[in-house]
Structure 1
């Protein structure tokens, strides 16, 4: 009988231990999700590790006459938003400069009314024209719209970065 009580006690202790460990893990990770737009120091450190520096690049998958595919154009636009938005995961970065915005607008101008006309031309043009005027308030919408078109599952933008956060992002990535 004493042996049965000992076995039962060991099983109970193991079960309780698993429950406690699970609760600790849940508390730790739920803290990362519950902050919304404000980040703790720990979250900022994680963001630094997640957003490793990348090199500035040209648009990939350039088709005929130097015109990129719509998918490549869209991806570059998406990566440009990473400089402006908060997201728990970002893949790729493209610096958002006046020259880059002008280059993207130039690509749109070259495909306007042609057989290479992009399906989401009006969205891209409206977004880039706002940026060209210094209005980046649409960056979260631009990011998340493209993210949804790409069937994104992680990395949804939750808000605009502060000037300090953007400055740190630029230092890390460019």
Structure 2
């Protein structure tokens, strides 16, 4: 009986370790085209080190604008971190939120959102990179618009 318990525990631990290794490899492959693991971990860490914006509500608003912009751009390194389709309803909600805020870049954000609301995404590379930088961006900088974006 004790032998079977030890065998089952050993098997369970082996499966967990193997799952972790496979999961790490899959995540690592998805984040970078390189095979340099140390460099990939540094990139991932920098992406989640949002040191430009401290307030959670402000951070969430910038992140929404960023993810909307992600649907219209191509990143120079091919890395896109989240997408939210910029529908009129979602843009209106964000405009309402920004209007009632005291964000440092309130006017700039409203200009961006109102331009998008009218269907103009022609400046989305610059707009993406503006909010991306505010979010402490290190990877995923926009280089050009996706094909067909106006």
The alignment's TM-score, normalised by the length of structure 1, stands at: 0.50
Q: Does 1:80 align with 2:68?
A: yes
Q: Does 1:136 align with 2:121?
A: yes
Query: What is the alpha-carbon distance in structure 2 between the residues aligned to residue 108 and residue 153 of structure 1?
Result: 25
The ranges of structure 1 where at least 4 consecutive aligned residues each deviate by more than 6 angstroms after the TM superposition are none
Q: Does 1:152 align with 2:137?
A: yes
Query: What is the alpha-carbon distance in structure 2 between the residues aligned to residue 109 and residue 152 of structure 1?
Result: 25
**Structure 1: 5+ residue runs without aligned partners?**
1-31, 33-62, 112-116, 167-174
**Structure 2: 5+ residue runs without aligned partners?**
1-32, 34-54
Once the two structures are superposed, residues 17-45 of structure 1 have per-residue CA deviations (whole angstroms, 9 ceiling, x without a partner) of: xxxxxxxxxxxxxxx9xxxxxxxxxxxxx
- RCO comparison, higher one (Cα < 8 Å, 6+): 2
CA apart distance, 1:140? 0.7
Aligned length: 94
Root mean square deviation, CA, Å? 2.0
Give the aligned partner of residue 83 of structure 2: 93
CA apart distance, 1:109? 2.3
Query: What is the alpha-carbon distance in structure 1 between the residues aligned to residue 98 and residue 136 of structure 2?
Result: 24
Query: What is the alpha-carbon distance in structure 2 between the residues aligned to residue 78 and residue 155 of structure 1?
Result: 11
CA apart distance, 1:150? 2.4
Larger Rg: 1
